[in-house]
Amino acid sequence: MNKVVISRFCWMLCAFSSLFLSNGIKAGNPNGISIIPQPSSISVTSGSFVLEPSVSIYTTSKDEDLQSTIKWFRDKVAAATGIVLKQAKGSKSIGIQITGPSNALGEEGYKLEVLPAKINISASASSGVFYALQTLLQLLPPDIESPSLQQNIPWVIPCVEITDSPRFKYRGMMLDVSRHFFTKEEVKRYIDEMARYKFNILHWHLNDDEGWRIEIKGLPKLTSVGAWRVKRTGHWGTFIPRLQGEEPTYGGYYTQDDVKEIIAYAKKKFVTIIPEIDVPGHGLSLIASYPDLSCTQLPYGVNEGRKFYTRDDNALCIGNDTVFSVLNTIFSEVAQLFPSEYIHVGGDEAYKGFWRKCPKCQRRIKEEGLKDEDGLQSYFIKRVSTLLASKGKRLIGWDEILQGGIAPNAIVMSYRGMDGGIEAAKMKHEVIMTPASRTYLNFYQGETIVEPPAGEAMCRMRDSYTYDPVPVGVDPEFVLGGQGCLWSEHIPTYRHLQYLMWPRGMALSEVYWSKPGNKDWKHFINKVEHHFLRLNAAGIKYSTSMYNVIFHTHRLNDYDFSIELATEIEGLDIYYTFDETNPDPYAQKFTGEPIVFPIGATHLKVITYRNGKPIGAQINMPKETLLKRL
């Protein structure tokens, strides 16, 4: 059977299943429609619109951003369908009509009306049209995501009326390119994948102890030295130091022309790029390039991915005025490159031990009347904030910038839970909520024994989906939004980045875009499974960890313990064995009652099934691993 026919059959089957499963769910899933993030309102009308060669797309606007958006849509449709939508200035009897403005919808809002003979899109800005077209693509069959399908098959869109606008103006994804370097084309692809789910901020982490990634023309050693380290493959944090005579060949950087190209590309997808230059800590790549910037002034190399914190001096010397001259050079060029009103300066995890021993830092504390090293960090952040303000930029920092007193007008990105963001908001500072346990997509997303190495904690998709960026008692006016974070220690390839990003990124897109009352976990899972077909068509790797078993252990006495088995989503059957055989539907079925680990057994083997078919990974859980969790 032709793969296109198979894909279309799967889409129809998924749509029917979605309709069946959605009965009684408040958010609804009318006629199998699976839009992520969930729109503000959606109603289904009778009939359908067929995309065919006679269809035109037309608008009277000459806005450059809008014309760019229309070209993007026409190119995407042509690649997948072979249909070249004509662009016309006047109204046609059959076509896609774009009108505006509709100020009630806000800058990013839109109204989308699909009729049997016409599609109407109204928005107050080009960004709203872009998001309307992203929604329209999700109303088409999954094959529309194929980059070069060009099959002459029916392209049917159900008739709907959608009114939509985002909850938050800051809907971000962070990409760390320091620990592992991603090419210019990979960054562009990351932007494409973000934009599909209506994220609008790329937080670009451009430096760390393991690499400097942006050309600074006034400081050429940052890229000739700081962008390169010796190559190591394996488990991050266990690598051996650079050997004598070993050349640093792993890494890379973006030229300023590369940066301009990426910024221009992102602009077409209505994504703003916020650069991060992480200071005063996480500075080994900077210090390796210019050793006189640290307190010890020792000749450190760019870190290879080994443990070094508190042993190597990776923090800038705040008592050294040369540091601020160098930062002025860096931030002058960064500010000129990036049109964003914000620059992120990190400010996190700065080890203060070397400051305590440094005569220059201690003299700075005394001369400035600072209380201690926390005050010294606050002095640094406030001075950098003033530097950025002189260049027309506002400072964002991780929640450690609260230590010793926050800089005026600074924005706090709260990652160590939400307490930092709550504290800052109560002081009337704007905050971006990124609690690690909910938004760190580099964390494990399922049982660690079957997952590739990841960050040290767990962040399941449900953890991401069920958090609210606005805590009780906090004025929503001060919460700009939030973001997902991808720290790349354990992400050596772009394919693995995708595996960690999806589908948890879908969960966060709904957290930051959709109204809380429109969210529903069961309905969301239903939509995610439909979007797996879309990711398949687009060639995007994703995780299916949501189907795997979750283990809960309980101590019974000095010798015995019990296990409860669970799954992240409903409707799965769990089968298990203790006798070293692989479980299947003829093995013992978990009924909900805790099971006691038998004397003499060494493993608990489990697997999930749905409708009689295996769906989750088989997990062979050693007894020793379960004992460690008691």
Q: How high is the pLDDT of residue 152? A: 77
- Count other Cβ atoms within 10 Å, centred on residue 559: 8
Is residue 357 included in any domain, yes or no?
yes
Final residue of a structural domain among 164, 191, 225: 164
Q: Please tell me the distance from the alpha carbon of residue 351 to that of residue 25, in angstroms, as a whole number.
A: 50
| Same-domain status, 61 and 96 | yes
Q: Would 160 be classed as within a structural domain?
A: yes
- Asked if residue 600 is part of any domain, the answer here is yes
- DSSP for 444-491, please give it: E-S-GGGSPS-EEEE--HHHHHT--SS-TTS-GGGEEEEEEEE--TT-
pLDDT at 27: 35
Is 14's pLDDT higher than 50? no
Residue 436 lies in a domain: yes
Packing angle, helices 184-196 and 256-268, rounded to 10: 20
Which residue did the predictor score with more confidence, 103 or 379?
379
pLDDT of 22 strictly over 60: no
Peptide bond before residue 452 is cis, with ω within 30 degrees of 0: no
Positive or negative, the CA dihedral 215, 218, 221, 222 is negative
- pLDDT confidence band for 92 (50 / 70 / 90): low
Q: Is the pLDDT of residue 360 over 90?
A: yes
Number of domains observed in the structure of the chain: 3
206 and 154 housed in the same domain: no
Q: What is the token pair recorded at 377? A: 């960090």
Q: Band of the pLDDT at 3, cuts 50, 70, 90?
A: very low
Given a cut of 90, whether residue 184 has pLDDT beyond it is yes
Do the domain assignments include residue 12?
no
Same domain, 283 and 353: yes
Same domain, yes or no: 360 and 449: yes
What is the domain range of residue 577?
548-628
Residue with tokens 């046609």: 92
Q: Do 189 and 153 reside in the same domain of the chain?
A: no
Question: CB of 569 within 8 A of CB of 615?
Answer: no
- Report whether 50 contacts 116 (CB < 8 A): no
**Last residue of some domain: 115, 144, 164?**
164
Cβ pair 190, 175 in contact under 8 A: yes
pLDDT per position as a tens digit, 426-471: 999 999 999 999 999 999 999 999 999 999 899 999 999 999 999 9
**CATH number of the domain where residue 58 is located:** 3.30.379.10
Average pLDDT in the 32-46 region? 95
Element (H, E) at 369: none
CA–CA dist 510, 507 (Å, integer): 5
Q: How far apart are CA 256 and CA 261, in angstroms?
A: 9
Q: Do both 200 and 243 map to the same domain?
A: yes
Nearest to 68 by CA among 269, 304, 329: 269
Q: 197 and 276 share a domain?
A: yes
Per-residue pLDDT at 153 exceeds 90: no
**DSSP H helices in 290-447:** 321-337, 353-357, 359-367, 373-389, 419-426, 436-439
Instruction: Note the pLDDT of residue 93.
Output: 60
Looking at per-residue pLDDT, the higher value among 61 and 288 belongs to 288
Mean local confidence (pLDDT), 593-618:
97
Instruction: Say what the pLDDT of residue 16 is.
Output: 36
Here the tokens at position 420 are 């930092």
Secondary structure (3-state) at 144: helix
Residue 311 sits in the same domain as residue 297: yes
**Could you read off the pLDDT of 300-357 as tens digits, one per residue?**
999 999 999 999 999 999 999 999 999 999 999 999 999 999 999 999 999 999 999 9
1 three-class SS: coil
What is the tens place of the pLDDT at every residue in 510-543? 999 999 999 999 999 999 999 999 999 999 999 9
Q: Check pLDDT > 70 for residue 20.
A: no
pTM assigned to the model:
0.94
Judge whether residue 31 has pLDDT over 60.
no
Tell me what the mean pLDDT of segment 576-597 comes to.
97
Q: What is the CA radius of gyration of the chain?
A: 26
Q: Does residue 527 lie in a domain region? A: no
Residue 154 clears pLDDT 80, i.e. is over it = yes
> What confidence tier does 90 reach under pLDDT thresholds 50, 70, 90?
low
308 & 419 share domain: yes
Same domain, 263 and 160: no
Predicted confidence band of residue 56 (pLDDT cuts 50, 70, 90): very high
Across 244-308, the runs of DSSP E, i.e. the strands, are 250-251, 272-279
What CATH number is given to the structural domain containing 598? 2.60.40
Q: Is 12 a residue whose pLDDT tops 50?
A: no
- Percent of the chain with pLDDT strictly greater than 70: 94
- What pLDDT, on a 0 to 100 scale, did the predictor assign at position 499? 98
Mean pLDDT over residues 487-510, rounded?
Answer: 98
Percent of the chain with pLDDT over 90: 89
pLDDT tens digit sequence for 380-426:
999 999 999 999 999 999 999 999 999 999 999 999 999 999 999 99
DSSP track, 61-88: ---HHHHHHHHHHHHHHHHHH----EEE
* Same domain, residue pair 504 and 578: no
Q: What is the pLDDT of residue 25?
A: 30
Residue 479 belongs to a domain? yes
**Res 199 pLDDT > 80:** yes
Q: What is the pLDDT of residue 615?
A: 98
Domain end, chosen from 142, 164, 186, is at: 164
What was the pLDDT predicted at 28? 38
460/312 same-domain check: yes
CATH of the domain at 262: 3.20.20.80
Band (149; pLDDT cuts 50, 70, 90): confident
Residue 444 to residue 494: CA distance in whole angstroms:
17
DSSP label of 579: S
Task: Give residue 62's pLDDT band: very low, low, confident or very high (50, 70, 90).
Answer: confident
In a domain, 180, yes or no: yes
What is the overall mean pLDDT for the chain? 93
